Amino acid sequence: MRCLIFCYIFAGLLGCSKKKNAPVDSFEVFDSQKPARPELEVYEEVGYWEQENRVKTNNKQAQLTSASVNVRRGLKGHFVILESKVSAGKEEKYNLIVKYYNDLVEVNNYECVWFQDDGLVQGFTGSWESERARMTWQLNFPKKLPKSKFSMEEIYPKYGERIFKFKIEEGGKLISGESKAVYMGEGFRRPKKRYPKIELSRLGSEGYWNDYETVRFSGETIELKGQSRQRFSSSGLCMISEGVKYTEGAPEYYMWVKTWDSEQKIYRMARFFESGPAHHYVGDWLAPLKTIKWVSVEPPGAIEIMERLEQSSKRSWTYTVWDGNKTNTGKGVSNFVK
C-alpha cells in the first residue's frame, strides 16, 4: 500500500517494480484518435472548432472576440488537449487546456488544468450531468483565492456544439462571459509557428528522448528505463511531454506540461497520471548551475526536484520525496534521440 502511495506522490516513478529493458530500437506511439475510456467521450470532438466570445465587466457593454481551437488526444487517448488562439482586433491571447478523468476519487472525477499565456495555471474538478449534457466546474487549484467567487459550466446542446459560461467576483468587480463553439471537422488549422521564449528553450529539443532512472525506495535500488516525446504548444508558451516507464507487467504512462510565469518569474509544471490526479510544481532557475529547482505545491512540499539542463539534447535530475517519516531519493538522465 505504501508503495502505491509513494508512486502516486511522484509521477516520475510509476511503479515499484524491478528493472525491465525498454525497446530502445523502437519508438512509443503516444497518439490516438479514440478515448482511452468511455467517460472521456463527454469532452470535445478531436479536430478544429471555431468560437465566439462575449465578456462583460461589471455588466458594462460586452467585449466581443473570436477564437480558433485545435483539439487532439494526448497520451494514448487519456487526455483531451485544447489549444486556442483568441483574437481581439490586432491582439492575440493563447490558452492550453488539458481535460481528463481521475479514477482515484469517488466523486467529481472529471478534471482539467488551464495554462494561460502569461503563465497562470489553474486546476478544476467537474461534475457531469448526463441528462442535461452539462459539466459544472469548481476551482481546486490553487486551493484558496481570498475574496473571490468563481463559477463555470459547459453545456453540449447537441453534437458539435458547446456553450461555455463563467462568472468571477473579485475585489468588487464582476466579470462574466459566454462562449459558443462549433465543431468544423476533423482537420486541424495549424497556426503560424511561434518560437518559445528563452525560458522555455532551456527545456530541451522537441522529439523523442530515452530516459534512465535509478530509485532508492525502502532500502531497495530500482532501475527503470523509459521513453518520452516532447513538443512545444502551438503558442510556443508550453512544453508538453508524454512519457512511459517500462515496468514489469504493463507499462505505465504519464504526461507533464511546463510553462513560464512571466509575472512572477518562475516556472510552473503540472504532472499528470494516465488515470489519476495532476500534481503541481513551481520552479526557480539557478543560472550558475543551469538547473531548475522544482518544489511541489500540490501536494504541498512533498517533493523537490533538481533538473539540470546540460544542453538541448541532454538533461539530468535528482529528486527527494518525503513520505511521512521516510525519505526516498532518485536520479536519472534523458538523452535526445530524434
Q: What is the pLDDT of residues 49-76, one digit of tens each?
A: 999 999 999 878 889 999 999 999 999 9
The residue that leads in pLDDT, 146 or 288, is 288
For the structural domain made of 38-185, what CATH number should be given?
A: 2.40.128.20
The reply to whether domains 2-30+193-336 and 38-185 share a CATH topology is: yes
The radius of gyration of the chain from alpha carbons, rounded to an integer in Å, stands at: 20
- pLDDT band, very low/low/confident/very high, at 88 (cuts 50, 70, 90): confident
Q: Are 111 and 125 in contact (CB under 8 A)?
A: yes
pLDDT band at 191 (very low <50, low <70, confident <90, very high): low
96 and 257 Cβ atoms separated by less than 8 Å = yes
pTM for the full predicted model: 0.90
The mean pLDDT value of the chain amounts to 89
Distance, CA of 99 to CA of 84 (rounded, Å) = 14
Supply the pLDDT for residue 13: 38
The CATH number given to 2-30+193-336 is: 2.40.128.20
Domain boundaries defined on the chain: 2-30+193-336, 38-185
pLDDT in tens, 193-224: 676 788 998 998 999 999 999 988 777 888 99
What does DSSP say about strands 148-155 and 161-170: parallel, antiparallel, or unpaired?
A: antiparallel
Q: pLDDT by residue (tens digit) across 279-293?
A: 999 999 999 999 999
Q: What pLDDT score was predicted for residue 3?
A: 34
Distance CA 225, CA 210 (A): 8
The fraction of the chain above a pLDDT of 90, given in percent, is: 72
